[in-house]
Structure 1
Amino acid sequence: MDVDNGGGRRVYNRFGGSQNSGPSKICHYFQQGRCTRNPCRFLHVLSEDSSNDGIGSKRSNGFANDRDYSGPQGFARRKSNPNFSSNHTVPSKWGRGHGGTGGGAAGYRPPPKVQDKLCQFWIDGKCSYGDSCRYRHQWFSSDSFTMLTQLPGHEQVINGIAFPMGSDKLYSGSKDESVRVWDCQTGQCAGVVNLGGEVGTMMSEGPWIFVGIPNFVKAWNTQTNTDLSLSGPVGQVYALAVGNGMLFAGTQDGNILAWRFSATNNCFEPIASLKGHTGAVVSLIVGANRLYSGSTDSTIRVWDLDTLQCIQTLKDHTSVVMSVLCWEQFLLSCSLDQTIKVWAATETGSLEVTYTHKEEHGVLALCGMHDAEAKPVLLCSCNNNVVHLYDLPSFNERGKIFSKEEIRAIQIGPGGLFFTGDGTGELKVWKWSETASL
């Protein structure tokens, strides 16, 4: 039957044909190789004088035989799928060679391809298509990990997640000007700290939690209950890092401030301001006695931790450098220019790009961890609300995580746990499977 979708457009009922015996007209778009409807209300035969004994050998370039179908619940329910865990470059394709040219007047109709996009009606609990829906009814597609729980509570984007050493509490910071404390045993919110300013970033080091807000860095010691406010930043603090006994903060005005903790005075004392970036510093990482900073000026600066001097400026990105990550002897960086770049040191010690991985969307955040088999995995969040998980160094995809809005914060935890926070303020808890499917 035809149904009206509320906008005057007639839509063919995907649960079957009309209530009559079958379509009687021939689809002219199919004859031209351009029909993309599935199911189509008209006959798919090669010419008007062809007998109605099935679909001919000619197919369009649509989803009838050239697109893969992963099923209504993604790969999580397909434990025996070999294409995902072994060689994802050869995707499983359903419909090709199915039924030959037979199948009656309307021919064989393959199931709809599930798009890599969440069904908004499913999110609201209102999707009536069920397994026939073209969009995803699951937050992830993989058989390597699973989602344990969702932790709602924040009202705006989560920009930081921290799991302090030796603590049984998880901390999340949001643009809603609060930090929420989560009990890891019950999954319940154990407390809310109102900061009076948007949280731009968050990290933990040992028992310390550091939170970046406009014009300040808040420092809490979860063991001694010490509560400090570090002044000096101008504007929002977007990035934090710890290395060589120092705390670094990347700020909106393009500077990087450095403090050193004084046990005598039980405080963090300012020691330097690293200048050079012409845009806000939005990402920091420490590795191999170097501090790496990414900025909205599209550059990465390399700082010597002994002298606190800039020793190299990397200019291969063409947009904001959103995240930097150290892995073994390599530096990884991502940008809104839709690339992830892998840097390695030359014989002279300078860094050069050795590999560029291209994405279809801007890349927001990188996080590295090991799966249940101790293999390195890169989590890559893009601004189309999808997180890609890649094996390193091959960049073979292991799975995807889908969200309502962009995921800005990713944090690893003990025992194969990891956490993501999205633009709606929802925190999700994930865990790697103990044994991967063959």
Structure 2
Amino acid sequence: MGIKTARSTVGWPQKSGAHYNQRPTAPTSRKVCSYWLEGRCNRNPCRFLHDASLPRNVYRRAAKQSSYMPEDRSGKGPESSPVNSASSTSRERGDLSKDKNPQKPQGKVCHYWMLGNCVKGDSCPFLHSWFHGVDFALLAKPEGHKQGVSGIALPSGSTKLYSGSKDGTARIWYCHTGKCDQVINLGGEVGCFTCEGPWVFIGMPNTIKAWNIQNGASYDIGGPVGQVHALEVAKNMLFAGALDGAILVWKGGSEADPFQMAAPLMGHTRGVVSLTIGRDRLYSGSIDRTIRVWDLNTLECVQELVGHTDVVMSLLCWDQYLISCSLDQTVKVWGVATEGGSLEVAYTHHEDHGILALSGLMDACGKPVLLCACNDNTVRLYELPSFTERGKIFSRREVRTLQTAPGGLFFTGDAAGMLTVWKWLDSPKSQKEQLPHSMESC
């Protein structure tokens, strides 16, 4: 496929170590200052030792200086940085000097700011923003869930967003205001959400709840073993991954009995945690580290894909390719490499952390963008097929749920219960580039 990895990093000028070891007055104690060891001592002189023999990776502080980074001497203010900070006011005022507005490192967000207690304000050397990137913006952070968000759905034609959580509730939100319309107590943890037409399906322990949002009909579909983490709908069939390795199948029946169980798909030796559908195929990812390809017409397994060395957490169909991610810190792109139509690995993208979820959408110029949630509490955004980085989203906890919607909207849900609404910004009208790739989001 000729895919290349392209990454960009922003350097940060460093001063010599001598700058941090200025001590105008000798200490009065031989004890090492514990605040200095943490880079938080604000006394100069300090009556305790600031020992220069300690490892250089300990940040030292001279009087009235940052405990984390030196000042920027590059002459570049924040205007030159591609960082998009919705919470920073210094750029809007434009009344601070360049020395007081150092360029922020793109990959570092202030964790104290995330918790609401950073005291440095504009002088903090780390980002005070939930993201960096110039192509998208944060719209809202609807609050309400008490535990991790594990499912998000925006049914076709609906003006309301549905979310489920490990706190045992589903919430319905007004899309235009972000306010919660209804809280539904489900009586158990939500493992996943999916929707098809007027139906919303919710994966629960040992059952699936089906809810018709048009007429209010609801059903409890029994059969799964353990928590249901993956659901898909195709060809008038509902598929559910079970923890015993089976993929349960229900076919549409009568109005009185709309879900009639068919024979399960057997093959995985451990739990099925990811499903996606594309090109008349069902793809399943498992704790057994394999991916199985099922023919939707015959419901038979036509191929087993072996390549990951840990749990296959998420699957996505893009054009003629299958994209998979795993806790083994890789994203694999599978393409057709033989006359028989079998899939083989065409490209492997490596991350520094395990990968939890994938989703995809088209930007305003028609370019496909891959959303990649990692277990370091970030979501990376990559342009396909080059894997050029387009931005990064930060969260207090790991993002386990990604969902896209028409109009450039996409949603993230993290393990702390935070649901966030994002939107791609309109690109300049002069950019007319269109790519002939379609994205099917799982």
Same fold, judged at TM 0.5 (above): yes
Deviations 1:212-246 (A, max 9, x none): 00111111111121111111111110100111221
Aligned to 2:12: none
- Structure 1 residues 226 and 110: CA distance shift in structure 2, 3 A: closer
- TM normalised by structure 1 equals 0.78
Identity %: 51
Deviations 1:312-340 (A, max 9, x none): 11110000000010000000000000000
The letter of the residue matching 1:279 is: R
Of 319-328 and 135-144, more deviation after overlay is shown by 135-144
Aligned to 2:357: 365
Aligned to 2:265: 274
Which one of 173, 177, 185 corresponds to residue 176 of structure 2? 185
- Structure 1 residues 64 and 317: CA distance shift in structure 2, 3 A: farther
Distance in 2 between residues matched to 1:357 and 1:240, nearest whole Å = 26
- Structure 1 residues 148 and 36: CA distance shift in structure 2, 3 A: same
**Contact 1:238/1:283 (8 A) holds in 2:** yes
- Structure 1 residues 217 and 255: CA distance shift in structure 2, 3 A: same
Deviations 1:104-125 (A, max 9, x none): xxxx999485373432321232
Which one of 331, 341, 345 corresponds to residue 349 of structure 1? 341
Aligned to 1:416: 408
Aligned to 1:384: 376
The letter of the residue matching 1:196 is: G
In the alignment, structure 1 residue 244 sits paired with structure 2 residue 270: no
Which one of 306, 315, 320 corresponds to residue 324 of structure 1? 315
Of 135-144 and 291-300, more deviation after overlay is shown by 135-144
Distance in 2 between residues matched to 1:7 and 1:382, nearest whole Å = 37
**Contact 2:295/2:302 (8 A) holds in 1:** yes
Distance in 2 between residues matched to 1:226 and 1:7, nearest whole Å = 66
Which one of 392, 399, 403 corresponds to residue 391 of structure 2? 399
Distance in 2 between residues matched to 1:7 and 1:271, nearest whole Å = 69
- Structure 1 residues 286 and 7: CA distance shift in structure 2, 3 A: farther
The letter of the residue matching 1:147 is: L
**Contact 1:143/1:436 (8 A) holds in 2:** no
Distance in 1 between residues matched to 2:212 and 2:306, nearest whole Å = 38
Aligned to 2:148: 157
Aligned to 2:83: 75
Aligned to 1:258: 249
Aligned to 1:10: 36
Aligned to 1:58: none
**Contact 1:74/1:138 (8 A) holds in 2:** no
**Contact 1:365/1:382 (8 A) holds in 2:** yes
- Structure 1 residues 40 and 160: CA distance shift in structure 2, 3 A: same
- Runs of 5+ in structure 1 lacking a partner? 20-24, 43-61, 79-97, 99-107
Distance in 2 between residues matched to 1:35 and 1:174, nearest whole Å = 44
- Structure 1 residues 183 and 39: CA distance shift in structure 2, 3 A: same
- Runs of 5+ in structure 2 lacking a partner? 1-21, 24-31, 64-68, 87-97, 432-442
**Contact 2:41/2:61 (8 A) holds in 1:** no
Which one of 109, 113, 124 corresponds to residue 122 of structure 1? 113
- Structure 1 residues 11 and 436: CA distance shift in structure 2, 3 A: farther
Of 263-272 and 332-341, more deviation after overlay is shown by 263-272
Deviation, 1:303, is 0.8
- Structure 1 residues 226 and 109: CA distance shift in structure 2, 3 A: closer
Deviation, 1:184, is 1.4
Matched position secondary structure for 1:234 = strand
Deviation, 1:262, is 1.6
Deviation, 1:273, is 0.5
Matched residue pairs, number? 378
Distance in 2 between residues matched to 1:110 and 1:413, nearest whole Å = 37
- TM normalised by structure 2 equals 0.78
**Contact 2:85/2:130 (8 A) holds in 1:** no
Deviation, 1:186, is 2.2
Aligned to 1:315: 306
Deviation, 1:194, is 0.9
Deviations 1:40-96 (A, max 9, x none): 659xxxxxxxxxxxxxxxxxxx9999x9x9959961159xxxxxxxxxxxxxxxxxx
Distance in 2 between residues matched to 1:242 and 1:70, nearest whole Å = 50
Which one of 236, 256, 274 corresponds to residue 283 of structure 1? 274
Which one of 289, 298, 307 corresponds to residue 298 of structure 1? 289
Distance in 1 between residues matched to 2:287 and 2:330, nearest whole Å = 15
Aligned to 1:212: 203
Q: Superposition pairs for residues 89-168 of structure 1, below 5 Å? A: 111=102, 114=105, 116-168=107-159
Aligned to 1:198: 189
Aligned to 1:22: none
Deviation, 1:347, is 1.5
In the alignment, structure 1 residue 172 sits paired with structure 2 residue 180: no
Distance in 2 between residues matched to 1:339 and 1:135, nearest whole Å = 28
The letter of the residue matching 2:398 is: E
The letter of the residue matching 2:359 is: C
